[in-house]
Amino acid sequence: MLFAHGARDPEWADPFRAVAARVAADRGDLTVRLAFLEFQGPTLPDAITGLVSAGHRSIRIAPLFMAQGGHLKHDVPKLLAEIRSRHPDLAIELLPAIGDVPELREAIAGWLTRSIPGARA
Amino acid sequence: MLFAHGARDPEWADPFRAVAARVAADRGDLTVRLAFLEFQGPTLPDAITGLVSAGHRSIRIAPLFMAQGGHLKHDVPKLLAEIRSRHPDLAIELLPAIGDVPELREAIAGWLTRSIPGARA
């Protein structure tokens, strides 16, 4: 379950849809879904209820957030408590935020390092 | 200039500080700074004024946002107009959002693909 913030602008979600499509293409053994915290649907609890109804018993949630702020520290634990009370037998794992994954920080830093030409000063 | 959203929780910025430190270490020819849209300082206009005062004439802004929503489509153009009117001779380039860089979408999808063990169903 890829979990993104959501925005009023529906185009905002395009990069997340592209990532979801790529993971789904690479991992035919997984069911890949996208859910949102606000502005866009489905919500995380609704998306998870959909997967449970389809027979899934183990769900990994990947928060596609740059860093751990109030949303991941406060809102997401509340959503997880709600989900666990609705689905007590479901195994749920929460993956780290993008910026908390050393490999992804390296990828961002590496891209910046390569994409900026030499200083002109 | 790495430009992040900012959050009430100061720890939120830690991954961005790590990315800035890594780019600074790799690119001694650049001056690397971090600025924020809200909740944390410095603001983008203040940080850029600091660089201009130090003699910089060319600045690249890398928005460390997952995707282009209202902030990048509306708030940032307003900030850039303000900055350009303050510093008419400054060369400014705006880099794409993280999720608009194919290489970084691939890195995120690849990490997800590798970090989720085989389906247990």
- Phi/psi at A113 (5° precision): -60, -40
The backbone torsions φ and ψ at residue B12, rounded to the nearest 5 degrees and listed phi first, read: -50, -35
Predicted local distance difference test score (pLDDT) of residue A120: 46
Closest residue of chain A to B105, computed from CA coordinates:
A19
**Cα–Cα–Cα angle for B111, A65, B107, nearest 5°?**
25
State pLDDT tens for residues B11-62. Answer: 999 999 999 999 999 999 999 999 999 999 999 999 999 999 999 999 999 9
Catalytic residues of B: 5
* % chain A with pLDDT above 90: 88
Helix (H) or strand (E) holding B45: helix B44-53
Please judge whether B58 and A121 are an interchain contact, meaning their C-beta atoms are less than 8 angstroms apart. yes
Tell me the domains of chain A and their CATH numbers. Answer: 2-115 (3.40.50.1400)
Q: What is the DSSP string of chain A?
A: -EEE---SSGGGGHHHHHHHHHHHHH-TTS---EEESSSSSSBHHHHHHHHHHTT--EEEEEE--SS-SHIIIIIHHHHHHHHHHH-TT-EEEEPPPGGG-HHHHHHHHHHHHHHSPPP--
Q: What is the pLDDT of residue B121?
A: 42
Distance from CA of A64 to the nearest CA of B (A): 8
Closest chain B CA to residue A13: B67
High-pLDDT (> 70) share of chain B, %: 98
Instruction: Say whether pLDDT at A119 is over 70.
Output: no
How far is A12 from A15, CA to CA, in rounded Å? 7
Q: Do B111 and A103 touch (CB under 8 A)?
A: yes
For B63, the 3-state DSSP assignment is strand
d(CA B101, CA A99): 16
Task: Check CB contact under 8 Å for A108 and B104.
Answer: yes
Q: Which two tokens stand for residue A92?
A: 């749920």
Out of A30, A57, A73, the one facing B116 most closely (by C-beta) is A30
Q: Which residue has the tokens 């194919």?
A: B102
pTM: 0.92
Q: DSSP class of residue B39? A: S
Nearest CA in chain A to B91: A120
The answer to whether the CB atoms of B97 and A15 lie below 8 A apart is: yes
CB spacing of B105 vs A9 below 8 angstroms: no
Q: How confident is the model at residue B96 (pLDDT cuts 50, 70, 90)?
A: very high
* Chain segment A28-60, per-residue pLDDT in tens: 999 999 999 999 999 999 999 999 999 999 999
Sheet of A34-36, strand order: A34-36, A2-4, A58-63, A91-94
For residue B108, pLDDT beyond 70: yes
Q: Which of A22, A64, A108, A120 to mutate to test the interface with B (most CBs of B within 10 A)?
A: A108
Determine the pLDDT at residue B118. 75
Residues of B in contact with A22 (CB under 8 A): 105-106, 109, 113
pLDDT attached to residue A70:
85
Strands B91-94 and A58-63: unpaired
Q: Which two tokens stand for residue A98?
A: 């993008």
Sheet with strand B34-36: strands edge to edge: B34-36, B2-4, B58-63, B91-94
